[in-house]
Structure 1
Amino acid sequence: MTSKLEQLREMTTVVADTGDIQAVARLKPIDCTTNPTLVLKAIGTETFNDVVDEAISWGKKSNLSGDAAVAAIADRMAISVGAELVKLVPGRVSTEADADLSFDIEGSVAKGRQIIKAYEERGIERERILIKLASTWEGIKAAEILQKEGIDCNLTLLFSMAQAVACADAGAFLISPFVGRILDWYKKSTGEDYTAETDPGVQSVHAIYNYYKVHGIDTVVMGASFRNIGEIEALAGCDRLTISPALMDELAASDAKLPRVLSPEKTTPVDKINMDEKTFRWMMNEDAMATEKLAEGIRSFAKDLGALRDIVKKKLEA
């Protein structure tokens, strides 16, 4: 029998949510996503010792100093991790813009351009890269500008229909609606347990996928942030799913039948939402879960980015 992972690959593009080179080589995903947390974890392994050493050496030879040097070296490490992953996947690698730029349109646009330039200087074309931006109003507006320049974006930390609609209106290439973090919030808030079918994170992606297909929106829906394979199975058929190596291994270990759940042919009518900044901010204000998880996610990524820069600073001082 075919494993659940292979069955999933037949209906959904499987993406690896990791910076683990060995796992990517072994599992052979189409794309790979990273974030500050994953980059921080990756450079802490022996696999990336050379990457760290090269970036520090480069920084010492540059004309930069102080915080500017630290930030540039940390950026170089993230790009180097992404460049290694590009060698292993046939599709795209997502690289995240600084979390502390989440409310800065101009800064996010500049960072997106800088990331693409850094990859192109290594001979990696922009078609292989996605710029990850938080799904704040400012992040979405930055993506709109970058998309018009031919720089494709992955809008992350997405927890609501308001964010999904705004991203579609901006022409974002891809969105990453989070599943597990939504479940976390509801479990904490209600004290209840949920099945895969009643999982509010799963239901959120179902609603977004349905809205996009009903209205002919080309933006790719890539479910993310999974707590168990039940959530993944309940989203079989989604455009893409980004999955941790541990959960991919769990799917690979089972050969039970995996039915398709999501399909463009199986949709229900839904009204179009007219989105502007006022509507976006009000809908987010009315959605405590989305507001709290977005803010929490930005803080978490900013913390890990700070930790990465602290490592760089210590190595420069050594």
Structure 2
Amino acid sequence: MQLNLGRPSTRVVAGHRHATPVVTASRFSSRRSSVAAKAVQTPSNATAASELQSLGRLSTIVPDTLAMETLTPGAKLAAGTVSASVLRSVLVSESLGLKPYENAIVAAMAAGKNSNSPLAAAADPLDRALVNVGAMLCDVVWGRVETIVDPNLANDQAAVTEKVRLLAALYAALRVPRDRLIFGLPATWAATQAAKTLEAEGIATSLYMVFSAAQGIAAMQAGASVIRINVGRVREWYDKNPGAIRNPNGPREDTGLPSAYDPAIELVKELYCYGRKYHPKSAIMAMGLRSRQDALDLAGLDYLILSGRVMSQLAAQDTDQGYNDGLSAVGGSSGVEAVLTPALAAQAEVKQWPALTEPVWKSELGPAATELLAAALKLRANDVTELKKLLASRSSAAD
């Protein structure tokens, strides 16, 4: 018997699949082979690649899906995310293009009352809404859709594990293949250990709210598929705390000596090299990239989440890559060069960490990660609270 989640009978752009660009990692992407015929271009027609195009040959670029226009049917995205904040944005939006997603949320809210399936009836309405929208997103992205798990469960390993299993079962009832899904968990100790169990069961996980090496390495040891580091948040914390030690191997901060050391960028590089050397299964993703230079400094990383503003900055810069006027190549650069490569990781002097325990993990977090993790959990939990209030008001109005 097919599970009824209250999902609309038709799927957005049903049956349509987009050709995939070349990617450097497959944790978020579902690879499919395709052969594209390339038209021969005469020298006068061959144009140079922008920095965005050149960077895309080195890293998989994921547009920030909180920009709601990227959820509209026909979009061609590498990956998508569904979370409490995304659902709330859909409900308050006046965009007609988002109406199908709003209908899916409304249908999910009523499904428990009308469903003849024990699983659907028992599921939290918010879970049903996440799965309905997530299943629709699978039709407009060629890679994986990430479902953010309720952050209020972040410190309860058993609760996180059971919640993800339930969400996976709801997706399965809608015939969404498991290899199209990944579940986002906060990088607490409990959720990281839940990821270890889930990955062993074949359920892909993404650990986010990573602000320290200890969190990232614990996630790798757990076998997490993707580890997401918020560059902007880490940098902002150090900017607000000028007395904090930025470079543990450099001069003291109070010496007054100038330093170009960026603890946020260096954290990403450290985890990239460590992962390539000791845990190649785990892909590294960077988010919170505030500028074009941030993106270029991490060229070659598995995944880069870029805002529309940063993507526009990169698209506006031409390179000479692929350019030929039949005489010479002028202006721009020869293309974005990889900063992070497997060869770099192989040569890096990175010592392997022993298996982490919770006490050691806590001691290695450091003040930045401790403070940022607590703040991020509070913010995400508030997103869930606000969404539930909105859904309750909608339900009352309907009654």
**Match for residue 344 of structure 2?**
266
**Match for residue 212 of structure 1?**
275
Write the distance in 2 (CA, Å) between the matches of 1:79 and 1:58: 12
Shift of 1:244: 2.8
1:8-39, CA deviations, whole angstroms, 9 ceiling, x for partnerless residues? 22111122331556325676332223443333
Whether the 8 Å contact between 1:79 and 1:115 is mirrored in structure 2 is: yes
Write the distance in 2 (CA, Å) between the matches of 1:227 and 1:27: 24
Write the distance in 1 (CA, Å) between the matches of 2:242 and 2:85: 28
Task: Could you tell me which runs of 5 or more consecutive residues in structure 1 were left unpaired when the two chains were aligned.
Answer: none
**Match for residue 358 of structure 2?**
277
Number of residue pairs aligned between Structure 1 and Structure 2: 310
Shift of 1:96: 0.8
1:277-316 alignment runs, 5 A limit: 277-284=358-365, 287-316=366-395
Shift of 1:159: 0.8
2:227 matches 1:175: yes
TM-score using structure 2 length: 0.72
1:81/1:43 CA distance change after superposition, 3 Å = farther
Task: Could you tell me which runs of 5 or more consecutive residues in structure 2 were left unpaired when the two chains were aligned.
Answer: 1-47, 247-259, 320-334
Whether the 8 Å contact between 1:220 and 1:239 is mirrored in structure 2 is: yes
Write the distance in 2 (CA, Å) between the matches of 1:71 and 1:18: 26
Whether the 8 Å contact between 1:133 and 1:139 is mirrored in structure 2 is: yes
1:67-108, CA deviations, whole angstroms, 9 ceiling, x for partnerless residues? x99982222222222222211111101111100000010100
Write the distance in 2 (CA, Å) between the matches of 1:112 and 1:310: 23
1:124-135 alignment runs, 5 A limit: 124-135=176-187
Q: Which has the higher helix share?
A: 1
Shift of 1:142: 0.4
2:90 matches 1:53: no
Shift of 1:61: 3.1
1:216/1:77 CA distance change after superposition, 3 Å = closer
Question: Per the alignment, in what secondary structure is the counterpart of residue 14 of structure 1?
Answer: strand
Write the distance in 1 (CA, Å) between the matches of 2:228 and 2:128: 24
TM-score using structure 1 length: 0.89
Q: What is the RMSD computed on CA atoms of the aligned residues?
A: 2.6
**Match for residue 36 of structure 1?**
84
2:63 aligned partner, one-letter code: A
Write the distance in 1 (CA, Å) between the matches of 2:261 and 2:91: 38
2:165 matches 1:113: yes
1:28-177 alignment runs, 5 A limit: 28-45=76-93, 46=95, 47=98, 48-61=101-114, 72-177=124-229
Percent of residue pairs identical: 30
Write the distance in 2 (CA, Å) between the matches of 1:117 and 1:11: 35
Write the distance in 1 (CA, Å) between the matches of 2:122 and 2:102: 17
Write the distance in 1 (CA, Å) between the matches of 2:293 and 2:396: 47
Question: Per the alignment, in what secondary structure is the counterpart of residue 182 of structure 2?
Answer: strand
Write the distance in 2 (CA, Å) between the matches of 1:52 and 1:18: 18
1:271 aligned partner, one-letter code: K
Question: Per the alignment, in what secondary structure is the counterpart of residue 241 of structure 2?
Answer: helix
Write the distance in 2 (CA, Å) between the matches of 1:243 and 1:299: 24
